[in-house]
Structure 1
Amino acid sequence: MDRKIHSIILITVDSLRSDHLSIYGYNRRTSPFIDKLAKSGILLTQTFANAPYTTASINSMLTSRYPLMGTERYTNTNRGKTLPEVLKENGFYTLGFHSNPWFLIYHFGKGFDIFLDPYSEHHRKQKFTTKVMNFAMKKILGKIKAPYATAEELNEAVLKTLTQLKDYKKLFLWIHYMDVHEPYLPKTWHFTRKKLSYSYVLNLMRKKNESPESLTDSERELILRLYDDKIWELDKELSHLVNDLSDHLDLEKTLIIFTADHGEAFGERGAYGHCANNNLNLHRELLHIPMIFWSENNDTLSKFYHIEQSNRISKIFSLMDLGPTILNLLGIKIPSSFLGRDLINDKIQYVISQGVVAPDPNIEKYVKTNERAHAITNVEHKLIWWEQREYTELYNLVADPLEQQNIANENLELVHSLKSIIKREISQYSKPEEDEKLKKAIKNLKLKGKI
């Protein structure tokens, strides 16, 4: 094992798109501390989520497997080992801190010695949408309480736990922040430049989700500024966290990884948010995410410099590849169940991302499957394939990085080639018995006249 790394700190931010960070070229200075980490660490410019929503994306990160396996909606953490389990088996004490109720429902705590949501047990059991509505009422009534634990509260819980821990030699710490997730209710109003009533902001959030076409230009701009305010506030809390961690950990023997589970849409294709109103989106605004590796000791990052002889790496990468990369850095054998690739040693030619459309209540009674979409991204092109509809979108990422011009009809050979790669990848891990179950369920529905 590489003795230089004794602690791994994995920081994930919910709903953070890379192009709203100044280090990725954004016109507002939203992230001075994150920029500092990137400039003195390793910045990846072409990292993509494997799914556009949290449950599937985090599952892929933890298991190093594709989001959709067979006819499932997302890979199950019970299939193979998770990254925390592997690290725990190799002597790491594993800590996880979050404030998302889905994390417990979908067993994301598998492999953690401590997996903590500082929010109350009562709120933890509620659906996130219910938490947001309760939060909205408290705002209106003047009882200020966020619908999740804030970064400040999470940091406090992390530091308190580290103070109490004594008997560990190696540490894996995962912190998932919800601050950038809607509703975008800032404390400082840094970019909005004026304080707005919470009821006004909450009504604006409702409007963008329910009728985005009715938003005025000034409202669209305000939504962006509110989102940027939340990034700016989180950036300050991250600065405080890293500074305070130095009291508990040797930062020269610590690797900090900063990333996100997915991005956020701001009306690029009509809708806002991520998969709002069952609007599945596999475009850049939802999939392109930040990825930064940082350590106080440059020797810890030395393996990265051999990739492109620079601290700014354009090699394509995904959350699925994070686990194998971490294990390689530590000198730990990568489990055979991990399907991702190691950034340092492997040739990564493409990233596959997947998602499902909202449940069909008729089929839901029989099998957990819905219309699936797949995206394959390489350095030059991106293909989106809607499996059931047999509809494809193809984009030239060099000429059209924002994915506005579908050129599929003019490039049928390339479409076929990229689609074949997707089919080959997903067919390797499909379960025949599940596929047969799906066929029987659909046949029964047709006989009953329901579809």
Structure 2
Amino acid sequence: MRDININHKHLSRLLLLTGLCCYLYYLMEWSFFLSRPSMLSYLSLTDSLLLLFTAPFPLLLLSLSSVCLITFLAFFIPKKSIIIDRVAYVVPALILTCMAFLMLDNFTYTVFGIASHSATTLMSQGYYWIMITLLFIYFTNKMSMVIESKGTLCEHLKPFYILFITLILLSILSLWMTYSQPLNTKLELDVSAKKTDFPNIIFFSADGVNSKNMSVYGYKRDTTPFLNSISHESVIYQNHWTNSAKTTGSVGALLSGKYPTRTKVIFRPDTFKGQDMFQHLPGILKNQGYYNFDISLRHYIDPADLKMRNAFDYANHRLLANQLFTANNLFLLRWPVATQFLEENWQRLYQRLAHLIDYKSMVNPHRLVNQGAEVPAIFSDIDRMKQLKEQIKIAPRPYFANVHLLGPHGKKFDYEKAIFTQTKAQPEHWMPDHYDNAIFQWDAYSKEIYQLVQEQGELDNTLLVFSSDHGKRHVINETLPLIIRYPKKEYTGSVILPSQRMDIAPTVLSYLGVKPPQWMDGHSLLSRGKEAYPIFIVSSSKQQAINAGDWKVAANLTYPFYSLGSISMAYCGTLYSIDINNINALSFEHQKVHARDSVCPLEDLTPKLAYEMILDHLASMGYDTDKLNY
């Protein structure tokens, strides 16, 4: 009986230390997120504190259950050794090891610009594993010292028992206070007129392409010979605009059919929240039997990183679980904020460990989009094309592919063959001739995909959409390409009326015979009227956080507009803009933007009235415009 009592004491101490380790781990992570632009930047102090006590609960349940299970099983092992008795110590030791590893990684990166993702050789990765192993051994030994010690230590632990019980009660209270009615994941759709045979759909976009640099739009250089050759079998939109100067917001508008001002997805760390997580084109297509895959870039536009739920089956070298049927569904639908915090924390740990075992490389996403030809092959457009071709060959039918190439992004441009230059060398940033080379490459890739679909006998059952996210160098005063080749050349011609990025999703649905849902802000280009409508375009705040190592991750987030830095409206040939980076000194400007023929319902629109329309739009999207001093 005495031995059993001692084991009970050991177990109670082990449970105590394990629980406290869970809370300490998330306290450190919460502090890290609080110190930088992150999802916590959008929360009030009260909500942040509630998150601090809510987040540890899943890990607490898992770790305490693991300790009890391991301890229980150990009783049934004959001739137990001291190692068997201490197996359960692994649980709290592992938690502390992960915490210490992340803290050291953050410190060395902030101070020296060196971290685990900098380890690219077997030797450097080995150093990190030695460090992790030593940390684990150290914490395991400390656990045994505390748990197995005798004497007065038990009396010193009493305040910690009280603390632990208090923390559990606070967690339960926080869970109750932050509980929300489960999000509605059902998509109410009118499919009474839908087609009996859905086509495959390919969105084939390139980053930062101005339509004026494409020969299919009249450019002097033959930068798009393939798109020229299929122009007669496509619809070419001559006056197409972005909805966001940043790729994050533009892709968000493309896939959701919503204003970036509605979803608040403008630039990272913005993500989809609430119902917006489930209301998007990929979700609708998935609901109708599509297999969806995304080939783009992690962090900035990856659908899972942007918290677009139940959207894609495959994205950027990985299969995605269906969020509606995974184990975290219960927590996600009722505590979405806490779930996002847990997911982002897990990704911080997982990406570093995966990098150290050479499973998946962890790289700076900002450098990937700016280094041009210096980007590693596995993160280049060559690899994206390889992924796309593989998926087209093996994906179940019908499929939806969202592809975003980065060759024309700049500052340096990435392409395979020099066409308008003698070499690929780019001694300066933003060199125009190399920009044209990158556009030519996108056109060549477009031809490859067209021919692949044609070889498979699926050209007349594939909807091809060629477009771009924003103008060169993120400008918003230039029109973008939008070329749609419908199956069997069902629609052709040239459209002068203005269109916008978020019109593409409802247009696709209309073609499929699925009525665009009311929550989509975009217009179907197949059924729109002949009048022009205002097109709202956002840009992120000018100041952006760049950590050590030039890791550009987020716009600075300040109340009440957070990542929103400016808001513009393209209407009737004029672009009206309000800079709200300084809410106490707004900047207003307007400029002609090469207006083409269109029917404008407000011919006498004055700048003052236009600015009022912009502010009314912000107010209707939930922004507190009373904070603006104008």
Q: Deviations over 1:7-34 (max 9, x none)?
A: 1111111111111100111110001012
Match of 2:272 among 60, 73, 77: 77
Query: 1:97 maps to which residue?
Result: 295
Matched, 1:113 2:313: yes
Amino acid at match of 1:393: E
Query: 1:214 maps to which residue?
Result: none
Matched, 1:195 2:389: no
Residues in 2 aligned to 1:171 and 1:196: alpha-carbon distance in whole angstroms: 36
3-state SS, counterpart of residue 241 of structure 1: helix
Matched, 1:161 2:356: no
Match of 2:437 among 229, 239, 257: 229
Residues in 2 aligned to 1:398 and 1:98: alpha-carbon distance in whole angstroms: 31
Provide the alpha-carbon RMSD of the alignment. 3.4
**Contact 1:73 1:368 (8 Å CA) reproduced:** no
**Contact 2:202 2:462 (8 Å CA) reproduced:** yes
Query: 1:420 maps to which residue?
Result: 612
Match of 2:252 among 51, 56, 59: 59
Query: 1:295 maps to which residue?
Result: 486
Matched, 1:178 2:373: no
Q: Which moved more, 1:176-185 or 1:411-420?
A: 411-420
Q: Kindly tell me: are residues 117 and 241 of structure 1, through their superposed partners in 2, closer, same or farther at Cα, counting changes over 3 Å?
A: same
Q: Deviations over 1:237-271 (max 9, x none)?
A: 2211111122445211211111011110xxxxxxx
Residues in 1 aligned to 2:487 and 2:376: alpha-carbon distance in whole angstroms: 36
Structure 1: stretches of 5+ with no match in the other structure: 209-222, 265-272, 275-280, 306-310, 402-410, 443-451
**Contact 1:92 1:170 (8 Å CA) reproduced:** yes
Q: Kindly tell me: are residues 360 and 112 of structure 1, through their superposed partners in 2, closer, same or farther at Cα, counting changes over 3 Å?
A: closer
Residues in 2 aligned to 1:372 and 1:237: alpha-carbon distance in whole angstroms: 35
Tell me by how many angstroms 1:296 deviates: 5.1
Residues in 2 aligned to 1:146 and 1:417: alpha-carbon distance in whole angstroms: 50
Tell me by how many angstroms 1:107 deviates: 3.4
Query: 2:211 maps to which residue?
Result: 18
Q: Kindly tell me: are residues 247 and 67 of structure 1, through their superposed partners in 2, closer, same or farther at Cα, counting changes over 3 Å?
A: same
Higher helix share: 2
TM-score after normalising by structure 1 = 0.72
**Contact 1:99 1:117 (8 Å CA) reproduced:** no
Residues in 2 aligned to 1:125 and 1:425: alpha-carbon distance in whole angstroms: 39
Matched, 1:128 2:365: yes
Residues in 2 aligned to 1:257 and 1:363: alpha-carbon distance in whole angstroms: 34
Matched, 1:429 2:624: no
**Contact 1:93 1:113 (8 Å CA) reproduced:** yes
3-state SS, counterpart of residue 261 of structure 2: coil
Structure 2: stretches of 5+ with no match in the other structure: 1-193, 319-350, 546-554, 598-602
Match of 1:339 among 518, 521, 527: 521
Query: 2:471 maps to which residue?
Result: 263
Match of 2:461 among 253, 257, 261: 253
Residues in 2 aligned to 1:102 and 1:245: alpha-carbon distance in whole angstroms: 29
Residues in 1 aligned to 2:464 and 2:212: alpha-carbon distance in whole angstroms: 21
Aligned length: 370
Q: Deviations over 1:39-71 (max 9, x none)?
A: 321000011010111011111111122223497
Q: Kindly tell me: are residues 188 and 130 of structure 1, through their superposed partners in 2, closer, same or farther at Cα, counting changes over 3 Å?
A: closer
Amino acid at match of 1:153: D
**Contact 1:100 1:124 (8 Å CA) reproduced:** no
Higher strand share: 1
Tell me by how many angstroms 1:415 deviates: 0.9
Residues in 1 aligned to 2:295 and 2:466: alpha-carbon distance in whole angstroms: 15
Tell me by how many angstroms 1:421 deviates: 2.1
Tell me by how many angstroms 1:2 deviates: 2.5
Residues in 1 aligned to 2:586 and 2:558: alpha-carbon distance in whole angstroms: 24
Tell me by how many angstroms 1:196 deviates: 5.1
Q: Deviations over 1:309-359 (max 9, x none)?
A: xx0001111011111111111111322221111112233522111112234
**Contact 1:180 1:227 (8 Å CA) reproduced:** yes
Q: Kindly tell me: are residues 127 and 360 of structure 1, through their superposed partners in 2, closer, same or farther at Cα, counting changes over 3 Å?
A: closer
Match of 2:542 among 358, 367, 380: 358
Q: Which has the higher contact order (CA 8 A, sep 6+)?
A: 1
**Contact 1:20 1:26 (8 Å CA) reproduced:** yes
Query: 2:261 maps to which residue?
Result: 68
